[in-house]
């Protein structure tokens, strides 16, 4: 079944960043029953190991960053990844994979910093526990 979307801010699909800028990702489970866990992965198109993989995760909001390091007072500032484009390229493609086995909805917010420019604010609603969704986001340098 297709996953339904509620776009508060339609997806930008990507962002160009300059030195000192970074893209902040915030993933919030919307409907996670007590005791249930969620599973998601944030991967780069050409890295062997996923930068961020959460199996059986149980946090209210997950934060991670791509680009320049965020200030240390940002939530989960240690979850920072420098863009790593292939030689000769100026963009790096990332994919967020969402599984809805225990969590029937996720809210994904993507913001460009330090401007605090919202790039995306979307809620993904599953129709069945077997649903899954992939969100592709490109970071250009």
**Confidence at residue 56, expressed as pLDDT on a 0 to 100 scale:** 52
Predicted confidence pLDDT, tens digits, the chain (141 residues): 578 878 777 777 899 999 999 999 999 888 777 766 677 888 887 765 555 655 556 677 889 999 999 999 999 888 888 887 778 888 888 889 998 888 889 999 999 999 999 999 999 999 998 999 999 999 998
Q: What angle do CA 46, 106, 96 make, to 5 degrees?
A: 5
Which 3 state secondary structure label does DSSP give 79?
coil
Instruction: For residues 69 and 31, give the distance between their C-alpha atoms in angstroms, rounded to a whole number.
Output: 31
Q: What φ, ψ does residue 47 adopt, rounded to 5°?
A: -85, 140
Question: In the sheet that 91-99 helps form, which strands lie side by side, from edge to edge?
Answer: 14-16, 132-140, 91-99, 38-44, 52-57
pTM > 0.95: yes or no: no
Give the domain ranges of the chain: 4-140
């Amino acid at each position: 079944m297709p996953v339904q979307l509620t776009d508060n801010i339609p997806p930008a699909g990507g962002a160009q960043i300059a030195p000192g800028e970074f893209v902040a990702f915030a993933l919030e489970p919307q409907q996670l029953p007590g005791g249930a866990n969620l599973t998601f992965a944030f991967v780069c198109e050409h890295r062997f190991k996923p930068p961020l993989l959460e199996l059986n995760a149980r946090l209210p909001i997950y934060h991670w960053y791509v680009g320049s390091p965020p200030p240390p007072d940002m939530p989960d500032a240690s979850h920072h990844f420098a863009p790593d484009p292939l030689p000769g390229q100026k963009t790096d493609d990332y994919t967020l994979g969402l599984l809805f086995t225990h969590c029937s909805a996720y809210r994904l917010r993507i913001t460009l910093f330090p401007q605090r420019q919202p790039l995306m604010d979307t809620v993904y609603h599953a129709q069945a526990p077997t649903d899954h969704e992939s969100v592709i986001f490109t970071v250009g340098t």
